[in-house]
Chain A
Amino acid sequence: MLTKLQNIDKRIIYILVLLAIIIPLVSPMGIPFSINATTQAVFDKIDSLPDGSTIAIGIDYSPGAAPQIHPQAKAVLNHLFYSKNVKILFTSIATTGPMFTNQLLDEIAGHDKVYGTDYIHLGYLPGVETAISAFAKDFYKAFPVDETGGNIADFPIMKDVKSAADLDAMLVFTASEPSQYVRQIQGAYGVPLAVGINSVIVSTNMPYVNSGQMFGLMNGLRGAAEYEVLSERPSEATASMDALSFTHMIVLAFIIIGNISWFGTRKDKEGV
């Protein structure tokens, strides 16, 4: 019996994981969840931004990370575009960033914000950390034209913005290396920085949160769901929380089965 438990066909595991994802999505239970302090800090900071503040938003994720990070960005933009009166600069150091920015702006359409006055899409800048350092020093040199091809000096939103020193905050949505922004934006200019990242890199970024170099952090799909609840706009991330719960439980159940079978058959193995 225990030997059988140790050799469960992986196809059975795959089917159970699939069912743990599909069933809660089709028939959600709505398991309640609390708000993590790091997400609360992001919401509180954005919510308390005074009218007329200028923030930069880095959209730096790839399609692979989009299921976790895109809902975070959408929840934050919904909050900013519908409840706040701040100026927003979109930047990207990922090749796919501009496409996701366009997609996000399409998805949140219906607001009264004006392009060029309330927000601007500066587009993609190659060079990763060098690119961050370059636009932090001088937006005009790094992004002479915006994503639509217009001279950025012609847009009213850029009138009082020359470098990162003129920003009131920066939010970065990424699945790679947010510490680059700590070094080039927060550390160099003292700009309050928060990130939205996928769950797998949360552990490597917690030191920046605990040291205050990041004022907040959104943790994967759970972070997106928490932000949706905080901004009173529950959407796809909130609806996915039951699927997250059940897949976690399936993984834990198989870890327990694996351990029981391993310990149960250990004496047999040692006797061989």
Chain B
Amino acid sequence: MKSSTPVIVLTFIVGILIIAEFFLPGLNLANASNEVQNWGVVIAAFALGLAAVNLVRIHGRRIILRRSEWWNSALLLFFLFYMIVVGIIAGTDYIAYEFAFQNVMTPLGATMYAMLSFWIASAAYRAFVARSIEASILLISAAIVMLGNAPIGEAIWARFPALGSWIMDIPNTAAMRGIMIGAAIGAIALGIRVMVGIERGYLGGGNE
């Protein structure tokens, strides 16, 4: 028996339990299913810890080997340990923890996202060209949705918001529904493959 067999069997049992609890409420599997899902929460919490350990390993190695821009790794590890130590010892409502979150992490995160507006403006100018029929439709639709979303569009022509909403509600919804239904069918197929042990990527080491 391969070492992965017990995990595959366990995956099948857990999968069947969750599905049966949803579709066959008469079997009274709610407590068992709830318990299994709470295990999932605990495993996810351990995964967070594992991610932190992995970060320390990767960036610690970069610092030791003095790889290019190793000081960025040092800064990352400093703040990682700062938040962990302050958070555990003093709590997440302690002023030093809140200060770092509100005055370092939040502005940095917002800045990263805000930079997109500059790149989008530059990229739209270079790439958003009506080279074909499809590109022209995309271009016109995007312009209408943008004008419908910005108050100035409404000031230019009062019908822009209604036109933008129509694009979002009808053609966009139709296309998105198709994509979502396709993705859902794919997810069901993947779920079945995982449960019966055909898909083993989650075990690590590929599909051997």
A102-B98, A207-B173 are known contacts. Are A142 and B41 too (CB-CB below 8 A)? yes
B187 to A: closest C-beta gap in Å = 11
B122 touches A14 (CB 8 A): yes
Q: Mark A237-272, 1 if CB is under 8 A from B, else 0.
A: 000011011111111101101110011000000000
Choose among A65, A95, A199, A252 the residue with the greatest number of B CB atoms under 10 Å from its CB. A252
A65 touches B113 (CB 8 A): yes
B151 touches A33 (CB 8 A): yes
A72 touches B (CB below 8 Å):
no
Flag the segment in A52-60, A77-85, A110-118, A124-132 that touches B: A124-132
A168 touches B (CB below 8 Å):
no
A17 touches B110 (CB 8 A): no
Pick the contact of A37: B113, B114, B165 (CB < 8 A): B165
In the assembled complex, the Cα of A96 lies from the Cα of B109 at a distance in Å of: 11
Q: Mark B36-50, 1 if CB is under 8 A from A, else 0.
A: 011011011101100
A127-B41, A246-B152 are known contacts. Are A67 and B147 too (CB-CB below 8 A)? no
B151 touches A31 (CB 8 A): yes
A151 touches B (CB below 8 Å):
no
A62-B109, A126-B47 are known contacts. Are A13 and B121 too (CB-CB below 8 A)? yes
B178 to A: closest C-beta gap in Å = 10
Chain B interface, >50% SS class? helix
CB-CB < 8 A to B34: which residues of A? Answer: 134, 137-138, 141
A173 to B: closest C-beta gap in Å = 15
B169 touches A206 (CB 8 A): yes
Kindly identify, within residues 26 to 68 of chain B, every residue whose CB is under 8 Å from any CB belonging to chain A: 30, 33-34, 37-38, 40-41, 43-45, 47-48
Smallest Cβ-Cβ distance to A247: which chain B residue:
B117
A27 touches B (CB below 8 Å):
no
CB-CB < 8 A to B22: which residues of A? Answer: 188
A134-B41, A248-B150 are known contacts. Are A63 and B105 too (CB-CB below 8 A)? yes
A174 touches B (CB below 8 Å):
no
A133 touches B (CB below 8 Å):
yes
In the assembled complex, the Cα of A241 lies from the Cα of B177 at a distance in Å of: 31
B172 touches A (CB below 8 Å):
yes
CB-CB < 8 A to B149: which residues of A? Answer: 199, 219, 222, 244, 248
B145 to A: closest C-beta gap in Å = 9
In the assembled complex, the Cα of A249 lies from the Cα of B98 at a distance in Å of: 37
Kindly identify, within residues 186 to 228 of chain A, every residue whose CB is under 8 Å from any CB belonging to chain B: 188, 199, 202-204, 206-207, 210, 219, 222
A133 touches B173 (CB 8 A): no
Q: Mark A126-163, 1 if CB is under 8 A from B, else 0.
A: 11101101100110011000000000000000000000
B101 touches A (CB below 8 Å):
yes
B41 touches A248 (CB 8 A): no
CB-CB < 8 A to B165: which residues of A? Answer: 36-37
B98 touches A99 (CB 8 A): yes
A64-B110, A64-B113, A67-B113 are known contacts. Are A251 and B37 too (CB-CB below 8 A)? no
A206-B168, A206-B176 are known contacts. Are A254 and B152 too (CB-CB below 8 A)? no
Choose among B41, B93, B128, B139 the residue with the greatest number of A CB atoms under 10 Å from its CB. B41
Smallest Cβ-Cβ distance to B91: which chain A residue:
A149
B202 touches A (CB below 8 Å):
no
In the assembled complex, the Cα of A226 lies from the Cα of B49 at a distance in Å of: 40
A142-B41, A219-B149 are known contacts. Are A95 and B48 too (CB-CB below 8 A)? yes
A13 touches B37 (CB 8 A): no
In the assembled complex, the Cα of A37 lies from the Cα of B148 at a distance in Å of: 13
A259 touches B130 (CB 8 A): yes
A31-B151, A207-B180, A244-B151 are known contacts. Are A14 and B173 too (CB-CB below 8 A)? no
B37 touches A133 (CB 8 A): yes
CB-CB < 8 A to A251: which residues of B? Answer: 120-121, 124, 146
Q: Would you give 25 A-B contacts (Cβ < 8 Å), ordered by A?
A: A14-B122, A31-B154, A64-B110, A67-B110, A102-B93, A130-B37, A131-B40, A134-B34, A134-B41, A138-B34, A141-B38, A203-B168, A203-B172, A206-B169, A206-B172, A206-B176, A210-B173, A222-B150, A242-B151, A244-B150, A248-B149, A249-B152, A251-B121, A254-B125, A259-B139
Give 5 nearest A-B pairs by CB, closest first: A63-B109, A245-B152, A127-B44, A254-B125, A33-B151
